[in-house]
């Protein structure tokens, strides 16, 4: 089981930027898929962005404002978020998909108006 730890969350004003990081406890494979999901109170967990060796994918709500990247040598996944909106407020979770899914504990992102 891969352990994932997110960091970089917190409180930010609308229009600001934030970069989330997710560090895996062991090496991440280049063929694996990793992603960021988020869940707001009373809502279902939804995909924000994902990345594989060949492509990236973004939710319509964040396209143009977010960029997902990974550093396989440091076992780290990143999510750069710009032009943040109050609607982006949620707990963000890191996902590592390789044979079995591994989830991080989640980190709070709060965007004030």
d(CA 63, CA 61): 6
Residue 1 pLDDT > 90: no
Closest CA to 36 of 2, 76, 1: 76
Three-state DSSP state, 86: helix
Is 91's pLDDT higher than 90? yes
How far apart are the C-alpha atoms of 15 and 13, rounded to whole Å? 6
Q: Which residues pair with 41 in a beta bridge?
A: none
> Smallest Cα–Cα separation from 78: which of 87, 69, 88?
69
Digit-coded pLDDT (tens) for 32-86: 899 999 999 999 999 999 999 879 999 999 999 999 999 988 999 999 999 999 9
pLDDT score recorded for residue 39: 98
């Amino acid at each position: 089981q891969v352990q994932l730890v997110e960091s970089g969350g917190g409180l930010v004003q609308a229009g600001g930027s934030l970069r989330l990081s997710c560090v895996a406890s062991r090496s991440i494979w280049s063929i694996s898929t990793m992603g960021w999901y988020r869940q707001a109170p009373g809502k279902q967990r939804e995909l924000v962005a994902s990345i594989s060796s060949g492509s990236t994918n973004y939710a319509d709500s964040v396209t143009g404002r977010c960029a997902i990247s990974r550093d396989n040598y440091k076992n780290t996944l990143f999510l750069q978020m710009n032009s943040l909106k109050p609607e982006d407020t949620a707990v963000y979770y890191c996902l590592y998909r390789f044979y079995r899914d591994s989830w991080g504990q989640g980190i709070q992102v709060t965007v004030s108006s």
